[in-house]
Structure 1
């Protein structure tokens, strides 16, 4: 589409001025009672007495939490009036010691504004639905194998937190589930800042892991959106998806070794993400994924990988070792992505089971060296409407699946390559079976869509790559 007459909103996530949390509603009822305390013992007493809508405020200071922890047991807010436990100012109450909050049999609890410095994992148990962790600062012990936050309860919200600075093996945030195969349902992870994981091992240092191999076939319904990842170098997978039915959208990964990897599971959507620099872009295993509107540029390893497998499909009854293997990528739709200046643009792998029946359509692929497409075992693929450019070789893409023409991109100050008015990509998309209402910038797609992640518009983007001021404890 060449013209736009309106914008669908304002730029999301503009920076907010830091305010004392005691001055913010944070979703509690207007008539909620508030009690301010100045010790761990008094905090425990106030939590024990809290009823729906109450706010328990811990005064700023540094506290050593005893091994018994701060117990939140059998406490239930409501969806409209949660029980809120909050630091007087963001990051002002620092919790040291072996543990902090120990949740059990509780629901509709909000924990906000604390600086967590404990030496063991903060857990949201399976018997604790609708727990919200918001505006906290997580810098737990830098201990090998320690995962900092684990979520097992349904309908958790993890938002506007900062996870930062560790050099050891271990994961910032894990979403797990009850039992051995189930997943926590409908976890919402948004507006968080993940930064500076410097572990140099081969794996085990993800920023987010959604599931694990033995939970891969369980649908989680998690939404991971509007998070910023910077210098997340602890693993090739910054967002590691090992469950089914998730949505990964509108995140920014900048200068990170880790990329977005659908390692196990099926039917996840990867939409509107920005990968700027670093090593890895997007890598896919499993079936029926949708990868659209992503902008990937300047990666030094691989831009987009259509994975092969040690098995055709994961299934119930596999051995543990079989489940840990790779599941070949089948029936994915990879469309309307823009990949510029990546060391390897679209590539495959050489395991026994190659990917099948994948649609690769209406993407823009630009590089000055190497090969634009290297997917040697591409059984039943549909290639159509792609635009290739640059001195890189075409590779294994069939001649009918692309045009070699300059897409006339411009690189804007935010690092995004967008279309110019005269681009041959404008109104040239071919995949009519795909429903896609917006582009990566948040502009409406319209009827005749443009090729690539950007729909040409003269107006400013609604969404851009995120910056640190738009995420974390002080985000809007």
Structure 2
């Protein structure tokens, strides 16, 4: 009994040590004073008193948290610290969590270029640090171009944040990989965030998220972009731009965005379980494929209006082999596009020769394509080196000689979207492919044999539907939720 009591006391003391002390501040200068005091330790919390502040530049460096005891810097109440003017956070330490701050440019004053950077003013990158439940709204740039967040280091996270009202040129979030060696992984995660109202800009470099640059295309960044909500993100034709390798884009929802999720450079990306809705907006796109060995599976696209760069599924013909570091268009080889649903889109599949005539290679299998706008496959490029099997294409001419089931799948409205009925030509009709597609787009388990065509397993799935198109209330910060009421 005495031994157990000793262990319990030791455990309680360890928990108390991890929880650490609390420090109260009212400015970036006071935060830096706490850091420099020698009294800040892993597990401590710094609480910034609520209020409106301007031109607060914070440099975090020199003191690190730990996995068990991160250092937390938070607003005394969520959204209660409103930062205006040229306020800027430079996070140059490991295992820090920044929470509850609101960078706001609604007063029209100039805001900082790169309001948050995951590196310190001395260039030291952050690792294992997190920006969570923070907001950036209507930030104004003095320069023609500005970015809002730059991610450096390794294994950093942006989670449940709100970004809206970007009216200037420049990508909103960039993942910087130039400091990494050729075989080093970044491993960042961007999840459960709200992105809205990025005004149209001229030219390029206006993505919502860009993962790397052209010169980084062969680096195995291994970043995960998941369960984010994008609404009226019209900065340019690339909403997300993949410019590195081995990244994952899954379970995101896009609505009324004049652009696409673009695999611009790099290889071995996985695009899985995303929802794309046109909702009556012009030139809304889906997924654009460039470079090689990508997996595009279980995605749902409905009412997309784009016809060229923003077709529902656009596959480009490249001029250069995969690899290298230039900003040209790499050839598409070894892709697997399977179990996607493309419904009522103006241009369902477009083999686009605008950037090269090299025929793509890979597998197009078990996809459900239903539209009265045809042909359903527009092949400016030769489709002969792609293997087409197990697809159901209905409503318009298929285009070219591509074997497909053409029977009416009997689409039914289900929880705000369309899917086939549980009895019909998609049921148990998928052909066997090398890629194992264990779940459908809702997260339900598919059977080992007798899979259905398309993103939904409508007959015989097991388990509960865990995933659905996201709504504004599912993501971002709670303190701005009322302002997102129209973002549906």
Query: So what's the TM-score if we normalise by structure 2?
Result: 0.85
In 1, the alpha carbon distance for the partners of 2:391 and 2:27 equals: 62
In 2, the alpha carbon distance for the partners of 1:28 and 1:436 equals: 45
In 2, the alpha carbon distance for the partners of 1:226 and 1:185 equals: 19
Of 72, 87, 110 in structure 2, the residue corresponding to residue 84 of structure 1 is 72
Q: Quick check: 1:102 aligned with 2:84? A: no
C-alpha displacement of 1:180:
7.8
CA contact (8 A) 2:140 2:168 kept: no
| Aligned ranges 1:453-468 → 2 under 5 Å | 453-456=455-458, 461-468=465-472
In 1, the alpha carbon distance for the partners of 2:400 and 2:219 equals: 35
C-alpha displacement of 1:358:
1.4
SS of the equivalent of 1:43 reads: helix
**More displaced, 351-360 or 294-303?**
351-360
C-alpha displacement of 1:269:
0.3
**More displaced, 125-134 or 443-452?**
125-134
In 1, the alpha carbon distance for the partners of 2:196 and 2:420 equals: 31
SS of the equivalent of 1:324 reads: coil
C-alpha displacement of 1:35:
2.1
SS of the equivalent of 2:426 reads: coil
In 2, the alpha carbon distance for the partners of 1:380 and 1:225 equals: 32
In 2, the alpha carbon distance for the partners of 1:50 and 1:325 equals: 49
In 2, the alpha carbon distance for the partners of 1:115 and 1:200 equals: 25
1:291 aligned partner: 296
In 2, the alpha carbon distance for the partners of 1:29 and 1:427 equals: 57
C-alpha displacement of 1:89:
1.6
CA contact (8 A) 2:347 2:374 kept: yes
SS of the equivalent of 2:31 reads: helix
| 1:288-321 residue CA offsets vs partner (Å, 9 max, x unmatched) | 0000000011111110011111323332xx5xxx
In 1, the alpha carbon distance for the partners of 2:384 and 2:179 equals: 37
C-alpha displacement of 1:352:
3.2
1:383 aligned partner: 388
In 2, the alpha carbon distance for the partners of 1:393 and 1:29 equals: 68
CA contact (8 A) 1:78 1:108 kept: yes
SS of the equivalent of 1:371 reads: coil
C-alpha displacement of 1:155:
0.3
C-alpha displacement of 1:181:
6.9
In 2, the alpha carbon distance for the partners of 1:52 and 1:45 equals: 16
1:421 aligned partner: 422
SS of the equivalent of 1:404 reads: coil
C-alpha displacement of 1:123:
1.3
Q: Quick check: 1:58 aligned with 2:52? A: no
**More displaced, 374-383 or 179-188?**
179-188
Of 330, 342, 346 in structure 1, the residue corresponding to residue 333 of structure 2 is 330
| 1:127-167 residue CA offsets vs partner (Å, 9 max, x unmatched) | 32111000000133245321110111100011000111012
Structure with bigger RCO (C-alpha 8 Å, 6+ apart) = 1
Q: Quick check: 1:305 aligned with 2:306? A: no
**More displaced, 443-452 or 223-232?**
443-452
In 1, the alpha carbon distance for the partners of 2:295 and 2:331 equals: 15
In 1, the alpha carbon distance for the partners of 2:418 and 2:223 equals: 29
Number of aligned pairs?
Answer: 437
The structure whose Rg is larger is: 2
1:3 aligned partner: none
C-alpha displacement of 1:179:
3.1
2:126 aligned partner: 128
Gaps in structure 1 of 5+ consecutive residues: 1-26
| Aligned ranges 1:1-400 → 2 under 5 Å | 31-48=19-36, 49-66=39-56, 69-104=57-92, 106-117=93-104, 118-121=111-114, 122-125=116-119, 127-139=125-137, 140-142=139-141, 143-179=143-179, 185-277=186-278, 278=281, 279-301=284-306, 302-315=311-324, 323-350=326-353, 351-375=355-379, 376-390=381-395, 392-398=396-402
CA contact (8 A) 2:19 2:69 kept: no
Moved over 4 A (4+): 27-30, 180-184, 457-460
In 2, the alpha carbon distance for the partners of 1:274 and 1:284 equals: 17
- CA RMSD for the aligned pairs? 2.2
In 1, the alpha carbon distance for the partners of 2:203 and 2:465 equals: 37
Gaps in structure 2 of 5+ consecutive residues: 1-14, 105-110, 482-488
C-alpha displacement of 1:29:
7.5
SS of the equivalent of 1:41 reads: helix
Query: So what's the TM-score if we normalise by structure 1?
Result: 0.87
| Aligned ranges 1:444-455 → 2 under 5 Å | 444-447=445-448, 448-455=450-457
